[in-house]
Amino acid sequence: GAGVSQSPSNKVTEKGKDVELRCDPISGHTALYWYRQRLGQGLEFLIYFQGNSAPDKSGLPSDRFSAERTGESVSTLTIQRTQQEDSAVYLCASSSDYLRTDTQYFGPGTRLTVL
């Protein structure tokens, strides 16, 4: 019955380093989303996984960003060669997606700071 969890809660890295952010969705949820929230702004869609279908990567801002999901469980968002502009909160959400517009439930996010 746990909610969406994300780790780490905070991550500080140096420019040029790679980072991995992890998301554990609600058990049984087939759909998983990643969003980015820059300081003082709304959320921007990054990528969407639905079951075994090909992911919707239309929101990824550059080829430095990639994500994987193992079956219907954990997802990892990887940012290579981080830049200062990547500093943001990265939020993960999951939904049962029985209907494509099912409510998305969010994790607490990972705050990424690139120095």
Partner 1 sequence: AQTVTQSQPEMSVQEAETVTLSCTYDTSENNYYLFWYKQPPSRQMILVIRQEAYKQQNATENRFSVNFQKAAKSFSLKISDSQLGDTAMYFCALTGTASKLTFGTGTRLQVTL
Q: How far, in Å, CA of 56 to CA of 77, rounded?
A: 14
Q: What is the closest distance, in whole angstroms, from the C-beta atom of residue 9 to partner 1 in the complex?
A: 9
Residue number with CB closer to partner 1 (3 or 16): 3
Residue number with CB closer to partner 1 (79 or 109): 109
Q: What is the closest distance, in whole angstroms, from the C-beta atom of residue 27 to partner 1 in the complex?
A: 18
* Other Cβ atoms within 10 Å of 28 Cβ, number: 8
Burial category of 87 from C-beta neighbours within 10 Å (exposed 0-12, middle 13-18, buried 19 and up): middle
Residues that bind partner 1 (CB under 8 A): 31, 33, 35, 41-45, 48, 50, 56, 59, 89, 91, 93, 97, 100-101, 103-109, 111
Q: What is the closest distance, in whole angstroms, from the C-beta atom of residue 76 to partner 1 in the complex?
A: 19
Pairing mode, if any, of strands 43-50 and 75-79? unpaired
